[in-house]
Amino acid sequence: MTDDDLKKTLADRLTTVEARLLAACQRASRPRESVTLIAVTKTVSPRVAGLLPGLGVFDLGESRPQELRRKAAAIPDQIRWHMIGHLQRNKVEEVLPLAQLTHSVDSPRLLETVAAAGKKLNVRPRILLQVNASREDQKHGFTFEELPMLRDAILAFPGEVAGLMGMAAYADDPEAARPAFRELRELRDQLQLSWGRELPELSMGMSGDFEVAVEEGSTMVRIGSTLFEGLEESDG
């Protein structure tokens, strides 16, 4: 595809996603501006991702540090990069200077490593705490039970703990995701009270379930396949 064809395809898909987002916001009596659309570019080439700023999308998500570094170097525009994938501790120092927000801080040890790296690099990491919202054993994230006990580490964190991130179990029916999203929001509400801190961001909702997530209070939806399916793939 030429750049023009690609841009047309992306513009059409964005229009559709925007309309669905707006409708979900209206059903929940929320302003459209209360939800950030993060385009998850992990599967597509830097060329495809690089067309997004021209279409008004400046929040891009990546799940691997190497691909984040590659795309950040290739795309000159001012992008807000979101690190959304599981982060190994030895990659933290590479990611922190690039990512505006790291969604995937998913264990006490990783939280500790991010705090130490922030001090060492003299940056204030902005993070979300990833919760294992689907309660599946093989999934990453803090459990609902352990997160409340992290109070001291959170209050001492040398950066900004902006909120929570979570994923529902995969299902064909988006409604199946609703209980997990609701539980995540309720956990956030409870932690705000017990920690005495605002946790304004709730990163939840993907291509298959973002409307339900918005109805349940999501402030950041992470959308990949609905925007990028079938487009030039990343070779990174």
Residues that bind ligand PLP in the complex, under the rule CB under 6 A:
40, 42, 63, 84-85, 206-208, 222-226
Strands (E), the chain: 36-40, 59-62, 80-83, 101-105, 126-131, 160-166, 201-203, 220-223
DSSP 8-state class, residue 168: P
SS3 48: helix
| 118 versus 224: smaller Cβ distance to ligand PLP | 224
Burial of residue 30, with CB atoms counted within 10 A of its CB: 0-12 exposed, 13-18 middle, 19 or more buried: middle
| 84 versus 117: smaller Cβ distance to ligand PLP | 84
Least distance between ligand PLP and beta carbon 100 (Å): 16
| 30 versus 140: smaller Cβ distance to ligand PLP | 140
Quickly count: other Cβ atoms within 10 Å of residue 39's Cβ: 27
- Locus of tokens 């021209």: 54
Least distance between ligand PLP and beta carbon 193 (Å): 27
Which two tokens mark 187?
């956990």
Instruction: For residue 93, give the nearest of 128, 127, 61, 119 by alpha carbon.
Output: 119
Least distance between ligand PLP and beta carbon 43 (Å): 8
Which two tokens mark 215?
């109805």
| 100 versus 194: smaller Cβ distance to ligand PLP | 100
189 Cα distance to chain centroid: 19
Least distance between ligand PLP and beta carbon 37 (Å): 11
| 87 versus 148: smaller Cβ distance to ligand PLP | 87
Quickly count: other Cβ atoms within 10 Å of residue 102's Cβ: 26
| 21 versus 206: smaller Cβ distance to ligand PLP | 206
Show Cβ contacts of residue 36 under 8 Å, excluding neighbours closer than 6 positions: 59, 219, 220, 221
Least distance between ligand PLP and beta carbon 104 (Å): 7
Least distance between ligand PLP and beta carbon 196 (Å): 29
